[in-house]
Amino acid sequence: MGEFKRSHWVKDLQDRDVVEAPFLVRDKVTAMARNGKPYLTLKLMDKTGEVEGRVWDRVDEFSARFDKNDFLQVRGKASVYLNKMQLVVQDMIRLDESAVDLGDFLPVSDIAPERLQERLRQHVASIKNRHLRGLMDAFLADAEFLKRYSSAPAAKSMHHVYLGGLLEHSLAIADLVDDVSVRYPFLDRDLLLVGALLHDVGKTDELTYARSFDYSDEGKLIGHIVIGVEMVEERVRTLPDFPRSLVVHIKHLLLSHHGQYDFGSPKRPKTLEAIALNFLDDLDSKMNGIRSLMAKEEHVEGPWTGYQRMYDRYFFKGGIIPDEEGTAETVETPKKTSTSAPVRRENADGDNKPRRKDSSERGFGFSLGEQLKGKSLDLFSVDDEEK
C-alpha cells in the first residue's frame, strides 16, 4: 500500500467501489463469528461522514497495528449490506498524525464559526431583561468558553454531530423561540431565549472533540445537564443583585429540557417556557437527525430509507408524490453531509436507549397524549416524586 492516497470520501462511496483512503478510527470492536473465527467491526470516519468497516481475514495481525482514534490508510471494497454501506477491509497501515490534516477527518458545520458567533451576539443583543442580558454577556466575555461553545458538536451520535453543531443547534432553537413568542405572546421571550442558548451549554465539557467525538470523564460521571447548571450558578455569583427566583427558572429550563425522566431529565417541565423549550429542542434535534439519516442512505435506491429500529419505522426520503389532480411533484432528498444515525436522548454512559421503557414502544414520544398516557389527570393530586 502507498503511504497516503485518497480515492473516495465517505459520502461518495458506492456499492462495489474499490477504495483506498485514509480514515480516523472512531471505534474498534473485536467479535466472534458463528464459525468461531474472530472479526473486527470498525467505525471509520472522515469529514464527510462515517462508514462501518469489517475485517474478516488476518484479524489478529491487523488488530495489533492500531487502536481507537488512530489514523489508518485502508484498502478495501465498498458493499451495501442490509441497506447500509460497509467497507470490507483488505489491507491497512497506521498513519502518523503528522502525515494527516485533522480537518479532513472531523465533520464540520456548513456555517462558518464567525457567522455562528455573529448570530449569537445578535440574539444576546435582543434581550431586554437586564439581568438575563448580563448573564449572557458574562458567558460571551469568556473567550475560552466561547471557543468551546463554537467548536463542540451537539451530540456524540444523534444530531448535529459535527464541529460547530452545538452552537448551530442552540441558534436554531433561538430562532424558533422568536417564532413561537409571536404566536404565544404570554411566554417570557427573554427567559425562553436564554434557555435556548444555554440548555446544552454543559456539552462544552461533557464531550471531547479534539480527535473524535466521545465523552469526557466529567461527562460520564456528571452529565451535561448538571454541568450546565453549575456553569450558570458560577456566573450568576459574579452578578450583583441577580434575582434568585430568576436563577431558579433558568435552572429549571436546563434541568427539564429533556422532558421526561426516561430521557434523562432530573425534572419534568413545569412552566410554560420549559414546556416550549422541551418541544423546540426535540423538534430541531429530530429534523437534523432524520435529515442526516436520509442523507446517509442516498445510495439506496427508492424513496424510502431502511427500517430504523430506534424510531420503529421507515422514512420517506423523496421521490414522486401525485398531487390532487394526478400530476406528479418531485420531492428532493435532503442533502446533509453529517451521517450520524439519529436516536433518542443520548447519555454519557454511551447508552442511547430510554432508561426504563423499551425504545421500540415510544416512537417519537413528543405528543402530549403519549406523555400523559398512564398518568393521573387530577391536577391537585401529589405524587411522591413531585413532593
Is 225 domain-assigned?
A: yes
Both 146 and 290 in one domain: the answer is yes
Q: Does a structural domain hold residue 5?
A: no
CB 44 within 8 A of CB 26: yes
What is residue 125's three-state secondary structure?
Answer: helix
Verify that 74 and 211 share a domain, yes or no. Answer: no
104, 125, 153: which is the final residue of a domain?
104
Domain contains 162: yes
Cα separation, 3 vs 23, whole angstroms: 13
**What is the SS3 assignment for 233-302?**
HHHHCCCCCCCHHHHHHHHHHHHHCCCCHHHCCCCCCCCHHHHHHHHHHHHHHHHHHHHHHHHHCCCCCC
Please check whether residues 156 and 88 belong to one and the same domain. Answer: no
Residues of the chain with pLDDT under 70: 1-4, 319-387
120 and 19 in a common domain: no
For 73, the grid coordinates are 490508510
CB-neighbour burial class of residue 4 (10 A; exposed 0-12, middle 13-18, buried 19+): middle
From first CA to last CA, the distance across the chain in angstroms is 66
The answer on 195 and 82 residing in a single domain is: no
Please check whether residue 74 lies inside any domain of the structure: yes
Neighbours of 126 (CB within 10 A): 13
* Position 343 in a domain: yes
When divided into structural domains, the chain yields a total of: 2
Q: Which three cell numbers stand for residue 224?
A: 451535561
Whole-Å CA distances, 332 to 15, 175, 252, 289, 318: 22, 25, 40, 17, 5
Q: What gap in Å lies between CA 329 and CA 57, rounded to an integer?
A: 48
CATH number, position 65: 2.40.50.140
Taking a C-beta distance cutoff of 8 angstroms, is the pair 270, 276 a contact? Answer: no
Residues 122 and 192 in one domain: yes
152 and 16 together in one domain: no
Q: Is residue 29 part of a domain?
A: yes
Q: Are residues 244 and 113 in the same domain?
A: yes
77 & 121 share domain = no
pLDDT tens column, 126-166: 999 999 999 999 999 999 999 999 999 888 877 888 889 99
| End position of a domain, from candidates 58, 78, 104 | 104
Q: Are residues 225 and 342 in the same domain?
A: yes
DSSP string of 134-172, one letter each residue: HHHHHHHT-HHHHHHHHH--S-SSSSS-SBTHHHHHHHH
C-alpha separations of 366 from 158, 160, 210, 369 in Å:
17, 19, 33, 8
- Could you identify the residue written with the cell 446533509? 336
Domain of residue 155: give its range.
107-387
- Rounded Cα distance between 233 and 248, Å, is 10
- Would residue 3 count as lying in a domain? no
Residues 43 and 112 in one domain: no
Say whether both 282 and 356 belong to one domain. yes
- Asked whether residue 96 is assigned to any structural domain, the reply reads yes
Final residue in a domain of this structure, among 44, 78, 104: 104
